[in-house]
Amino acid sequence: MPETCPREFVDLANRLSDAAREIAGKYFRRSFTVETKFDESPVTIADREIEAAQRRIIEDTYPEHGISGEEYGDLRKDADYVWVLDPIDGTKAFLNGIPVFTNLIGLAYQGNPVLGMIDQPVLGERWIGVAGHGAQLNGAEVHTSNVTALDEITVHATTPEMFTTDDLAKRFGQLSARTKYRRYGIDCYAYGLLASGYAHLVAEAEMKVQDYMPVVEVVRQAGGVISDWAGQPLGFDSDGTVLASANEDLHAQALLALAR
C-alpha cells in the first residue's frame, strides 16, 4: 500500500464530485420517477445519471483503472487502482428533500483504501481523506474528537432495519445500552461529522462495499478508527458490518460491547 496517494487522483475525485453535485442539484426537491431495485431499495434517475457521468470521466482519464459502482457494477476489479462509487448514499433522504444524502467516492490500491470523499451537494460540504495528506472539510483540516467516555456519547446508525438478524440486533443493542443516546437517520453523513469531531461513534451492518469503502480514509486520516465489528480492516470482502470511532479508546470499548 503506498504511503501517499498521487495528487492527480485527488484532482480527479474532485472532478467526479463536482459532476455529482451538478446532477443532484437538478433533481433535489423535484418530481421524478422512482424505481425499486431487487433488494427493495429505491433508485432514481439522479443515482444513475451521476454514476454514468462519473464512470465516463474515469474511463476517459484512466482507462486502466477499475470501477465498482452501486448502480452499474464492477469493471476491471482486478486493476491495481479501483474507484468505488455510490452516487447517492441516502436515496430515501434525497427523495424526502432531506439534505443528509451524500455522494461517496473511494479509491483503493490493491484492495486497500487510499482516498475517500463524502460530499453533501446541498450544504456544499465536502470531506476528503487521502493517504499521506490528512483529512479536510472544504479545504480546512479536520480532526476527530478525543472524548473517550462511551457513556457520554451518541451511537449513530442509518436505520434499525439494517440489523436484519437477531444476532446483529442483539449486538447493536449491547453497544447502544453502553452509550448515552442512539440516533438514526443521517446515513453516511455521520462519518463526515465524526471526522469533524461532532459525532463520536457509528455502528452499522448490512453495508455494501460502495457504502463503506469511500468513508474509510476520511475517518482514518482525521484520526479516527474504522473496522468491521470484529476489529478487522475493511476491504472488498468484508462482511458488511462497520464500526467507526473517534479514537482508539472508544473503538476498543465499542468492540468489547459488540462482542458475542
Q: Is the dihedral angle over the CA atoms 161, 27, 84, 142 positive or is it negative?
A: negative
| pLDDT tens figures, 216-260 | 999 999 999 999 999 999 999 999 999 999 999 999 999 999 998
| pLDDT score of 41 | 74
Q: What is the DSSP string of 62-76?
A: -TTSEEEETTTEEES
pTM beyond 0.85, yes or no: yes
| pLDDT tens figures, 117-145 | 999 999 999 999 999 899 999 999 999 99
Strand, coil or helix: 246: coil
Q: E strands of 122-186, at which residues?
A: 125-130, 134-137, 140-141, 154-157, 181-184
Determine how many CB atoms are found less than 10 A away from the CB of residue 151: 9
> Residue 67 is placed in which grid cell?
470501477
Report d(CA 238, CA 138) in Å as an integer: 30
Question: All domains of the chain, ordered by start, with CATH?
Answer: 7-141 (3.30.540.10), 150-258 (3.40.190.80)
| pLDDT tens figures, 32-78 | 777 777 665 777 889 999 999 999 999 999 999 999 999 999 999 99
Query: Exposure pattern of 83-96 as b/e (b: 16+ CB <10 Å)?
Result: bbbbbbbbbbbbbe
In sequence order, what are the beta bridge partners of 183? 156
Q: Is 213 within 8 Å of 205 (Cβ atoms)?
A: no
